[in-house]
Amino acid sequence: MKIICIGRNYAKHIEELANERPTEPVVFLKPDSAILPKKMPFFIPTFSNEIHYEVELLVKINKVGKHIDAKFAHKYYDEIGLGIDFTDRELQSKLKAKGLPWEKAKGFDGSAVVGEFYPKEQFDLENIKFQLFKNDELVQDGESNSMLWKIDELIAYVSQFFTLKKGDLIFTGTPAGVGAVKPEDVLVGTLEGNENFRVKIK
pLDDT digits (tens, 9 = 90+) for 72-83: 999 999 999 999
- The answer to whether 184 and 201 are in contact (CB under 8 A) is yes
Distance separating alpha carbons of residues 132 and 85, to the nearest angstrom? 12
What are the distances in angstroms from CA 197 to CA 2, 56, 88, 129, 132? 21, 12, 21, 15, 10
Q: Give the pLDDT confidence score for residue 13 in this predicted structure.
A: 66
Could you read off the pLDDT of 5-26 as tens digits, one per residue?
998 898 776 566 666 777 899 9
Distance separating alpha carbons of residues 120 and 77, to the nearest angstrom? 8
Distance separating alpha carbons of residues 135 and 187, to the nearest angstrom? 6
Q: Give the pLDDT confidence score for residue 22 in this predicted structure.
A: 74
Q: Identify any residues that bridge with 58 across adjacent strands, giving them in sequence order.
A: 81, 171
Q: Taking the complete model, does pTM exceed 0.85, yes or no? A: yes
Residue 105, φ and ψ in degrees, nearest 5: -85, -15
Could you read off the pLDDT of 98-136 as tens digits, one per residue?
999 989 999 999 999 999 999 999 999 999 999 999 999
Whether 201 has a pLDDT exceeding 60, the answer reads yes
Largest Cα–Cα distance in the chain? 45
Domains of the chain as residue ranges with CATH: 3-200 (3.90.850.10)
